[in-house]
């Protein structure tokens, strides 16, 4: 599920929040701090580089935004991406 929500201006030019929710196995609490680290992966050897979320976070940061793991349980994960219009920083 993907949802796009306008953010209020509040003197920062406004922007958007994008919410991505999946119904996968979730992200265990023990690795939540590591998921944005380069080369971190939970996949078996040869099945992924562990660069996906690291690259996503850096692209979003380049645009003065942020990505966070918002909600997580044993079933699925929710990521929030917030990007401001103009020079407003999130």
Contact of 88 with 14, CB cutoff 8 Å:
yes
- Say which residue the tokens 């406004």 belong to: 14
49: enclosing H helix or E strand: none
How confident is the model over 49-68, as pLDDT tens digits?
999 999 999 999 998 899 99
E-strand ranges in 1-90 read 2-7, 15-21, 66-72, 77-84
In the chain, where the domains are located: 2-84
Q: What confidence tier does 45 reach under pLDDT thresholds 50, 70, 90? A: confident
Domain 2-84 maps to which CATH number in 3.30.565.10, 1.20.120.140, 3.20.20.140, 3.30.2290.10?
Answer: 3.30.565.10
Tell me the C-alpha distance between 29 and 21, whole Å: 17
């Amino acid at each position: 599920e993907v949802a796009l929500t306008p953010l209020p201006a509040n003197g920062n030019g406004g922007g958007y929040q994008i919410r991505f929710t999946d119904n996968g196995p979730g992200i265990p609490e023990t690795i939540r701090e590591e998921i944005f680290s380069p080369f971190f992966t939970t996949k078996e050897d040869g099945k992924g580089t562990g660069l996906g979320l690291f690259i996503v976070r850096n692209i979003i940061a380049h645009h003065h935004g942020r990505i966070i793991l918002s909600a997580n349980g044993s079933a699925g994960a929710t990521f929030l991406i917030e990007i401001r219009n103009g020079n407003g920083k999130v």
